[in-house]
Amino acid sequence: MDDSSATTKHEPAISVRNLHVRYGATEVLHGISFDICAGETMVILGGSGSGKSTLLRTMVGLEKPSTGEIWIKGRNIDRLSEQEWDDLRKKMGMSFQGGALFGSMTVGENVALPLYEHTELEPSTVGIVVRMKLEQVGLAGFEDYMPSQLSGGMKKRAAVARALAMDPEILFFDEPSAGLDPIIAAGIDNLILKLKEAFRMTIVVVTHELASAFLIADRMVLIDKGKIVALGTKEELRASTQPRVRQFLDRVPEPEVSEELDYLQMLTEERPKGRA
């Protein structure tokens, strides 16, 4: 596809500026700011309920910020017209946690869908592109399988193939290794590394798997309870002395509640509704 990334060499591919997101009355992200440079792999780390999935969903436009801005390729996504938003989305690909493959279509039809809807390519050409993409993710020959016939790892690979169909400039991954055994998860990590080397895409990965994160990341940002706790390269985070960062990286469980009053408060506290 066209090489418009040359003009944006000096400005970040994605810029998150003082982002606040709420679900109903509950604020889930409290003022997140960071940049992602073109061609780098940024891993968003965090525990369950930290807000990392919300952050990813807001970046691709599935959630709206309550305050703050997200700039992608130099444009404020809040200010885009529908047509401009569509054009931007065609340059981004997203791989969802469960794959989100369309159950009524074969794997090949899933990958071909964006090509049929957004391009004027002949069906025979589309078929070639589909086979190419499936081969890139290691699923050559699986075009005629239905998603229900695939294993978890294969579904994720197929989802990546679909995200790659339009040769995106930015790829988003939501928990790519979640629920997979270590060998399959390593396969997915290798796939991401391959994409990094071959295409120099900007890659944004949300995960809580530390081993994967340190393997694939250029830089990482650790989110805890809706705030950034650490932002930097792999080495910087590994060397961090902040207690929350160390707790996450060293896999230290939450301390047992020993104070009676604290325990009582925990039992009787109102739980906030909505996802984090």
Partner 1 sequence: MGLTDGVGRGTLKGLAYLGGLAQLGGRAAYATFVPAAKARRVRPTRAIHQAMAVGVEAIPILSLITFFIGVIMALQGAYELRQFGAIQFVASAVAISITRELGPFITAIVVIGRSGSAFAAEIGTMKVTEEIDALETMALPPVPFLVAPKFLAMLIMMPCLSIWADFMGILGGLLFGVTSADFTVASYLAATRDALVMRDIVTGLIKAVMFGIVITAVGCYEGFSTGAGAEEVGRSTTAAVVKSIFLVTCVDLLFTALFYFTTEK
Which residues are near partner 1 by CB under 8 A?
57, 60-62, 85-87, 89-90, 92-94, 96-98, 100-103, 113-114, 116-118, 162, 172
Tokens of 62: 């599935």
Select 16 or 115, whichever has its Cβ closest to partner 1. 115
SS3 173: strand
Q: From the CB of 62, what's the least distance to partner 1, in Å? A: 5
Q: Output the CA–CA distances (angstroms, integers) from residue 175 to 24, 64, 103, 199, 256, in the order listed.
A: 25, 21, 20, 21, 28
What is the smallest separation between the CB atom of 214 and partner 1, expressed in angstroms? 27
Residue 159: CB minimum distance to partner 1, A: 8
Tokens of residue 81, six digits: 């017209």
The upper half-sphere exposure of residue 26, i.e. CA atoms within 13 Å in the direction of its Cβ, equals 14
Which of 275, 227, 169, 233 lies closest to 16 in space, CA to CA?
227
Nearest approach, Cβ of 56 to partner 1 (angstroms)? 11
The residue among 102 and 263 lying less far from partner 1, judged by its C-beta, is 102
Within 62-181, where are the H helices? 82-90, 107-118, 123-136, 152-164
Measure CA of the first residue to CA of the last residue in the chain; give whole Å: 36
CB of 94 to partner 1, least distance (A): 4
Nearer to partner 1, 90 or 208 (CB): 90
Residue 47: count of CB within 10 angstroms of its CB: 17
Side-chain-facing half-sphere of 240: CA atoms under 13 Å: 21
CB of 101 to partner 1, least distance (A): 8
CA distances from 165 to 65, 122, 143, 172 (A): 28, 15, 14, 14
For partner 1, which is the closer residue by CB, 72 or 237? Answer: 72
Nearer to partner 1 by Cβ, of 98 and 182: the residue is 98
Nearer to partner 1, 120 or 235 (CB): 120
